[in-house]
Amino acid sequence: MREVSPGDLIFSFVDTRIVALGIAQSYCYESPKPAEFGEAGLNWEAIGWRTRAHFTRLLHQVRPKDHMQVLGGLLPDRYAPLQRNGNGVQSIYLTEVPLDFAEALIGLIGSEALPIARAIGSNGEISPQDVNADLEVWEHHLENEVENDTRIEDTDRQALIIARRGQGLFKERVMLIEKRCRITHVNNSVHLRASHCKPWRDSTNDERLNGENGLLLTPSIDHLFDRGFISFEDSGNLIVAPVAHKPSLQRMGVETEGVVNVGSFTEGQRQFLDYHRNAVLLRAVR
């Protein structure tokens, strides 16, 4: 999920057949398991990844098992969606398939698939969807839980809610460690937000106010960090996610070529950055 980019083609495999073709319309973002899943996915975590996609149901629903003479030799060595006999792999929910395998499937599906494939090839830009709205709804729900938790003192409750916006007590504590934006070097606190390394929605109340769980960033850099388009190694080296749109990052003041080092981190910051790299960054480069 963390490797999906807007414009990617998705083959929907259900009950041994390719039943629909989808086009990803967003990068992935954290989301609670949808209520409509019901009893499905009991072993899944309550919080996972979500990607917006538009699917077109196919009239000609290909059964890959009937075409393994063509498809068998095109399966990847790792994380293949099918077994050699054509049966699906139950442990694989979403996986990347090689280009020649995708082209073979499109050929088997036929005329229904060609307009979708050609549209992607000629214009990779998909109208953006506002995934931030989904995150806002979820985080407001969590805010309401904090507001209604009678076990939390009034002053602490307000501090926790304000911390979600990168302000208040949390920002004050971050400013004891950080003096400026790591990327733009802006040092006027009016123009800086305290950005959580381990997101507010994933943190305990103590972590939400822990200054070492934060970096001071300008709003555009805060957006890139919060959405997983950038992160940092323990050494201070900047990580740019492969799915990030580099021209946009460069216009925001992020150098995308060569090694960029933003300075050292405390031991506590390194622990929270480890969480960010492994749970927020859209695809870590190791």
Domain boundary among 64, 97, 122: 122
In which domain, by residue range, is 146 found?
A: 131-279
Domain boundary among 99, 122, 145: 122
Domain boundary among 96, 122, 148: 122
Count: domains in the chain: 2
The two beta strands, 214-217 and 193-196, are antiparallel
- Structural domain includes residue 182: yes
The pLDDT of 263-285, averaged and rounded, is: 90
- Least confident segment among 25-34, 184-193, 245-254: 25-34
Say what angle helices 154-163 and 168-175 make with each other, to 10 degrees. 70
- Structural domain includes residue 284: no
The pLDDT of 83-106, averaged and rounded, is: 90
**pLDDT attached to residue 149:** 87
- Structural domain includes residue 222: yes
Provide the whole-model pTM. Answer: 0.72
Evaluate whether 124 touches 30 at the Cβ level (below 8 Å): no
